[in-house]
Amino acid sequence: MINLSIQSVFKTTTITLKSVLIALLLLSISYAASVPEPQQLMEDTSKVMLKKFIDQTEAIRKDPKIAHTLINESLVPHINFNIMSRWVLGKNWKKATPDQQQQFIKEFQDLVIKFYSKAFIQFLEKNDLKDGIIAFQPYRGKVNGKYATIRSQINPPSGAEPIKVNYDLYHSKKTGKWQVYDVSVEGISLVTTYRSSFNQIIKQKGMDALLSELRDKNSKLNDPEVKQQVVENK
């Protein structure tokens, strides 16, 4: 029987989200002096973020809320949650009302950012941030059009097998910016994973039920006991 709940979605995306978080925070090695704009953006942004988190590691360990603030300030501007939300809902996006669409964007963004914060805090409990954990792969071909995929590899501190992480970026003519709209870890797409899970909930319970479950999950992610729950879902 399919478990149609945000809790099941939370569990199935734990490894993906943790890997994505660490990758976004620690991407700091450029493969070449001259790289395409979207790849350079990822490198530059990650270097700035890495410095912020290294400088405030001890402060974050004492006050976890600092991590949430830094991630919100540094990460959110480089993710296109509008496009990501459309892709996640798929055919259900057009079926939703404008109000439901806006509610979904807000709740989905909160879910991703709050989980990032929890996962990062957990990572810092046993690890220090260091250079060299991530390496960019050479960009394939030339950047044409409005889409680009940036490839990287995470080298875990534990010495485990490297983890392949790809970032799909979209260039908006309206804003003139490159932003991430999907991330794949070892070939598993964040957007596709959520789309499959959310589609099941909408099909069985409706869009309002999905929004309600998202709000409930976001509320619980603020609770101290969720930290233990995240540990158990490793």
Tell me what the pLDDT averaged over the chain comes to. 80
Bigger pLDDT: 137 vs 91: 91
Are 171 and 68 in contact by the 8 Å Cβ rule? The answer is: no
Q: Specify the pTM.
A: 0.75
CATH class name, domain 6-232: alpha beta
pLDDT of residue 96: 97
pLDDT at 40 over 50: yes
What is the percent of the chain with per-residue pLDDT over 90, rounded to a whole number?
Answer: 33
pLDDT band for 2, please (50, 70, 90 cuts). very low
Q: Is the pLDDT of residue 115 over 70?
A: yes
Spell out the domain ranges in the chain.
6-232
